[in-house]
Amino acid sequence: MKYLRMIALIALVVGLLGITPFAQAQIQQTDARSQTVMSAAPMAVAEDATKMDYPTGAGGLKVELPFSEMGMKGSGALMTATEPITQTEAKIQSAMSAAPIAIAKDATILDYPANPTDPPIELRKGTNGWSCFPDGPTTPGNDPICLDKTFMKWNDALATGTVPNITTLGLAYMLQGGSDPSNTDPMALEPPAGQDWIVTPPHVMVLVPFKLDTTLIPTDHTYGGPYVMWAGTPYEHIMMPVSQTTK
Provide the mean pLDDT of the chain.
79
Question: Per-residue pLDDT tens for 17-53?
Answer: 444 444 444 445 555 566 665 665 555 555 666 766 6
pLDDT at 38: 60
Q: Are 134 and 111 in contact (CB under 8 A)?
A: yes
pLDDT digits (tens, 9 = 90+) for 56-114: 544 445 455 544 333 333 333 444 445 678 999 999 999 999 999 999 999 999 999 98
Of residues 114, 233, 213, the one with CA closest to residue 163: 233
Q: State the Cα–Cα distance between residues 72 and 57, nearest whole angstrom.
A: 29
Q: Say whether pLDDT at 135 is over 50.
A: yes
Q: What's the pLDDT score for residue 246?
A: 64
Q: Are 22 and 28 within 8 A, CB to CB?
A: no
Has residue 206 got a pLDDT over 60? yes
Least confident of 4-8, 37-41, 162-166, 187-191: 4-8
d(CA 196, CA 218) in angstroms, rounded, equals 21
| Residue 223, amino acid | Y
Q: State pTM to two decimals.
A: 0.66
